[in-house]
A and B are shown apart, each in its own frame.
Chain A
Amino acid sequence: MTDPRERPTLLDSAGRIRIEAVNLLSMAEMSSWLAKVLLGDIPTIGADRDESSVDLLVRTYHRLDPWVRHTLHDVLLGLLTDLARGLDRDGARWTVVAAENLLLVVASVVRGTPSVQAAVDLLRCIVTAAPGGAHDDTVPVFALKCLVALDHRAPPEFWLSQFERRGVPSAGPVLRGMVRWDLDIGFRWIADHAGDAAIGAALRASLPLLVDRFGPAAIMGHLAQLAPRLTGEGRAALAATSRALRLSELPEPVTAARAGVDVAGNRSELAQDPAVPWIRYLADPHLLHEARLSDASDPAELRTRLAASLRTIDLAVDRPRHVRALLVLAHLLLDPVELRGAVERLRAWCAGDAELSSAKREALVAMFEELDRGPATPLSFEFHACAYLLRNKRRNVAAEFERLAAGLEPGVET
C-alpha cells in the first residue's frame, strides 16, 4: 500500500506531476513508485485522457534532470532483473500487460544511453528463458522487440533460433534483427519465407524505416529480386506500399532470360572476387537452376567450385537455407557421389528428430519442392514424393531419406 503522505507531493495544485518532486525521490522511492504505476497498483494520475502509463512516464522522463534520468535507468534495470527472474515462476508479479509497459518504457528511454548494454543482457536472459512459463511467448517476443528498439546487433543465428522457437509473432523483430546484421542476409531470409503472410506484413511495416536507413535504391534492388517469389496477394500488397512510399514500381516477374543476365552478373562477380562468400550463391536455388541452364561457357569450373563449397557447408549451424542449398547444389552437379553424400548428411541432420520442428519441416518441404521443379532427373519422383509426404506429415522423414539414399546405390542410373 502506498504511503498517502508521498503521493500529494508528486502532484501540483493542478493535478500534474511535479517534476521537481520526482527529481527529489530517492532510488528506492522511485523504484517503488515506478513499479506501482507499471503494475497498475496505483492510478497514473496526471495522465492525459487516453494516455497510457507508459506515455506519461516517457513524457515525465524527458523533463527530468539529467542525473535523475540515470537513476531512472538504474531503477528500470532493477525492474527488468525482477521481470527476468520471475518469468518462469508461477505467481510472478509481472502480468503480461505490466511487463509490456516496462519493456515499452525501457525501449523508449534507455536507447542511446550508457545503460543499453546492461538492458540488452537482461533482455537476452528474458528471450532465452525456458518456454512454457507463465507468460508463454508474449513477453519474450516483446523483449525481442525491445532488443530491436535498443538497436541490438546480434548474428543471424540468434534471430533464426528465435524465429524457429517463437514462430510468426516474432517475424517483425527477427526481420529487423537480420537486416540490422546484414541487409542481404535479411532479404535472403525473407525470400526463403516469401509465401509467409506474417513476414510479408513485417516487411511492409518496416519498409519506411529500411528506405530511410539503406536508401531507396538498395531496398528497391532487393524488392525487385524478391517480387517474383511472392504470392500474387503478397506482391500486390508490397507494390501498393512501395507506391505509397513513392518508390519506383516493382518489376514484373523475372523471366528466365532476365534471370540469366542476373546470374551472369553474379558469376562474373564471383570470378573476380574469390572471397565472395559462396553462401550468397547457395541461398538462391532459383539462381542456381538458372546458372546451370545458362552456363554453357565454363561448366567444369563452376562444378568444381560448387562441389568444393558443397563439402564445406556446416549443417550443424542448422540454417534452413544451408540445407536447401546443399541438395540443390548436389542436384545441379548431377554427381551421384556428391548427391549421395548430401543425402546422407541430411539424414544425419534429421536423425533423432522423430517429430521435426515446423520450421525444419517447412525448410525441407521447400527444398524438395524446389528440386521437384528443377531439371528432370531420375530422382525427380523421389523429390516429389518426399515433399508430398513431409507436407502431409505422413511418414517419418528418416524413412524417406532411406528411400532416397537407396535410389542412389551403385547401379542405379542418376
Chain B
Amino acid sequence: MLQSWAEHDQCAVRLLLHRIMGESVVHDRMFHNLLAESQFSAADIAELLELLHALAAQGASIDEVCGRLREFCTASPSGTRRTLRGRRAQVGAETLGRVMPLSTFARLLVRARYHTDEEEAQFAIRAMLGARPEDYTIDWRSYPLGSYAIWSTFDEAGGRPFGDDLPSAAELLERLGLEPKYDGDLLLVLEYRLPADVTSRVPSFCDAYVGREWNAWFRVSAHEAPFGRTRPVGAREARGAPEVIHDVITASALAAPIHYRV
C-alpha cells in the first residue's frame, strides 16, 4: 500500500509507524499488515492516509493510534462496515471447519444469552458431542458458532477440513496458529457447510484488527490470493492452512457430529 503514496506522505507515516512498531511484537505485526494489505479500496487508502497524517501531526500516543485504527476498521464515515468486505474466497471444498475450546464456546453461549452460566452451557454442549446434526433440537440448531465473524479453514484437496483421522489437539492448534488450551479443557472440532446466503471471504486487515483482541499470528494475504493462510505457531516455515472469514452461522449448518480432542 505504502509504495503507491507520495514520498512526503510515506515519510510522515514511516516516522509515526517507526515509533509504534517498537512497542511490541503484536504492534509490529499489525503495522506490517497495514502496509502490506492489498484489499483496501482507493477511498480506504485516502482516508487512512489522512488519519495517519493527522495522528502523526498531533503526536498521538500509541493507544490513541490503535484506538483510531480500530475505529477505521469498524466502518467508513458513511457508515459502510469495513469488515467482511474482502475478496470472495475460492473455497475448493464442500465443508469448512474450525476448532474452539469448550470453555470458549460455553462462554460465547452465556454471552449470547443462551445459557445462564458456563457450567450449564458446557453440559449442553457435551450433550451434543457425537450426536448427528439431524438429531439436534431447535434450541441447539440456533446456537451461534462464533461471535461477530467466524474464522474458518478447509482442505485444499477438497476433503474434510481436518482429514478423516483427526489430528491431536496440539497439532490442530499449531497448524491453525492458535494458542494452547489449558489442561482439562476440550478442543471442539466443528465441520459445517456454509448456508447459501453466507459468503466466505479472504480475511483483511480490518477483519483482524477491528476487535479489542489482537493476535500476533495474522498476516494479510498476498495480492489476489484466493484465500488467506494461517501462520503456524510452532514451525513458522511450515505452510499454513487455508483461512477464510465469514458471517456468524449457527449449529444448523453443522455437517458432521461435533468431535473433540483432549
Interface residues of A (CB under 8 A from B): 1-2, 4, 7-8, 11-16, 40-56, 58-59, 62-63, 100, 104, 107-108, 145-146, 148-149, 169, 172-173, 175-176, 201-202, 204-206, 208-209, 212, 237, 240-241, 244-245
How many Å lie between the Cα of A175 and that of B115 in the bound state? 12
User: Once the chains are docked, how many angstroms separate the CA of A220 from the CA of B24?
Assistant: 56
Question: What is the number of contacts between chain A and chain B, taking CB atoms within 8 Å?
Answer: 164
Q: Which of B115, B118, B120, B151 contacts A108 (CB 8 A)?
A: B118
- Contact B107–A208 (Cβ < 8 Å): no
CB distance from B145 to the nearest CB of A (A): 10
Q: What are 25 inter-chain pairs, A to B, with CB distance below 8 A?
A: A4-B62, A14-B25, A42-B63, A42-B66, A44-B212, A44-B213, A45-B26, A45-B216, A47-B179, A51-B213, A52-B107, A52-B111, A62-B182, A173-B116, A176-B116, A201-B139, A204-B139, A208-B123, A208-B127, A209-B120, A212-B123, A237-B139, A241-B139, A244-B136, A245-B127
Given that A15-B25, A43-B213 are known contacts, is A49 also in contact with B218, CB under 8 Å in the complex?
yes
The complex places the Cα of A69 from the Cα of B110 at a distance, in Å, of: 24
Task: Please name the residue on chain A nearest to B150 by beta carbon.
Answer: A50
Other A-B pairs beyond A50-B213, A208-B123, 5, CB < 8 Å: A14-B25, A48-B213, A53-B213, A176-B116, A205-B120
| Candidates A11, A100, A209; contact of B26 at CB < 8 Å | A11
- Contact assessment for A1 and B63 in the assembled complex, using a CB-CB cutoff below 8 Å: yes
Q: What residues of B have a CB within 8 angstroms of the CB of A176 in the complex?
A: 116-117, 120
Q: Does B126 sit at the interface, judged by CB under 8 A?
A: yes
A148-B117 Cα distance, complex, nearest whole Å = 7
9 interchain residue pairs of minimum CB distance: A15-B216, A47-B213, A149-B117, A62-B182, A172-B116, A15-B25, A208-B123, A209-B123, A45-B26
Across the two chains, which residue of chain B brings its CB closest to A206?
Answer: B120
Complex Cα distance A172/B135, Å?
A: 24
Cα separation A349 to B63 with both chains bound (whole Å): 58
A59 contacts across to B, CB distance below 8 A:
179, 181-182
Residues of A within 8 A of B214 (CB): 43-47
Shortest Cβ distance from A100 into B: residue: B111
Which residue of chain B has its CB nearest to the CB of A41?
B63
Chain A nearest CB: distance from B81 CB in Å?
Answer: 17
Chain B residues near A169 (CB-CB < 8 A): 113
Nearest-CB distance from A245 to chain B (Å)? 6
Residues of B within 8 A of A43 (CB): 26, 66, 70, 212-214
Cβ of B5 under 8 Å from chain A = no
- Cβ 8 A contact of A107, one of B26, B108, B117, B140: B117
With A1-B61, A11-B25, A43-B214 as known contacts, state yes or no: A50 contacts B147, CB within 8 Å.
yes
Contact partners of A175 in chain B: CB under 8 A: 116
Note all chain B residues with C-beta closer than 8 A to A13. Answer: 25
**B119 an interface residue at 8 Å Cβ cutoff?**
yes
Name the one of B66, B131, B139, B213 contacting A56, with C-beta atoms under 8 angstroms: B213
Is B215 part of the contact surface with A, judged by Cβ < 8 Å? yes
Residue of B nearest to A209 (CB): B123
Say whether, besides A7-B23, A45-B24, A205 and B139 are in contact (CB < 8 Å): yes
Does any Cβ of A come within 8 Å of B29's Cβ?
Answer: yes
| Nearest CB of chain B from residue A125's CB, rounded to whole Å | 19
- Judging by beta carbons under 8 Å apart, are B212 and A48 in contact? no
Pairwise interchain contact A205-B124, C-beta atoms closer than 8 A:
yes
Contact partners of B61 in chain A: CB under 8 A: 1
Q: Is B104 an interface residue (CB 8 A)?
A: yes
Please give, as numbers and ranges, the residues of chain A lying within 8 Å of B218 by CB-CB distance: 49
A373 to B91 Cα, complex, angstroms: 62
Q: Closest Cβ of chain B: how far from A203's Cβ, in Å?
A: 11
A1 to B29 alpha-carbon distance, docked (Å)? 22
Expressed in whole angstroms, the minimum distance between the Cβ of B181 and any Cβ of chain A is 7
By a CB distance below 8 angstroms, the chain B residues around A204 are 137, 139
Chain B residue nearest to A2 (CB atoms) is B63
- The answer to whether A108 and B24 touch (CB under 8 A), given A14-B216, A16-B179, A45-B214, is no
Tell me the complex Cα distance, A1–B218, Å: 26
Of B63, B116, B183, which is in contact with the most chain A CB atoms at under 10 Å from its CB? B116
Contacts of A241 on B, CB cut-off 8 Å? 137, 139
Q: With an 8 A cutoff between CB atoms, is B149 at the interface?
A: yes
Distance from B107 Cβ to chain A, minimum over Cβ atoms (Å): 6
Q: Which residues of A contact B62 (CB under 8 A)?
A: 4
Cα–Cα distance between A57 and B261 once the two chains are bound (Å) = 22
Is B190 part of the binding interface, using a Cβ–Cβ cutoff of 8 Å? no
Check A52/B131 contact, CB under 8 A, given A15-B29, A145-B116, A206-B116.
no
With known contacts A42-B63, A201-B139, A202-B116, A55–B107 Cβ distance under 8 A: yes
A254 CB to nearest chain B CB (Å): 24
Write the chain B residue with the least CB distance to A7.
Answer: B24
A15-B26, A206-B116 are known contacts. Are A40 and B212 too (CB-CB below 8 A)? Answer: yes
Among A12, A16, A202, A237: residue with most chain B CB under 10 A: A16
Q: Are A240 and B138 in contact (CB under 8 A)?
A: yes
Residues of the B chain whose Cβ atoms lie less than 8 Å from the Cβ of A4: 23, 62
CB-CB under 8 A from B216, the residues of chain A are: 14-16, 45-46
Does A244 lie within 8 Å of B107, measured CB to CB?
Answer: no
Instruction: Report the Cα distance A342→B115, complex, angstroms.
Output: 40
> Looking across the interface, which residue of chain B has its beta carbon closest to that of A61?
B182
Tell me, in angstroms, the Cα distance from A16 to B101 when the chains sit together: 18
CB of A66 to closest CB in B, whole Å:
14
CA distance A145 to B107 in the complex (A): 12
Give Cα A363 to B114, complex, Å: 27
B63 contacts across to A, CB distance below 8 A = 1-2, 41-42
| B161 adjacent to chain A (CB < 8 Å) | no
Complex: A98 Cα to B233 Cα, angstroms: 30
Does B103 reach chain A (CB closer than 8 Å)? yes
Task: Write out the residue numbers on chain A whose beta carbons fall within 8 Å of the beta carbon of B147.
Answer: 50, 52
What A residues does B251 contact at CB under 8 A?
none
CA distance A276 to B149 in the complex (A): 54
B178 within 8 A of A: yes
Which of A41, A146, A205, A237 is the one whose CB lies under 8 Å from B138? Answer: A237
Q: How far is B102's CA from A59's CA once the two chains are assembled, in angstroms?
A: 12
A40-B212, A52-B213, A205-B139 known; A244 and B123 CB under 8 Å?
no
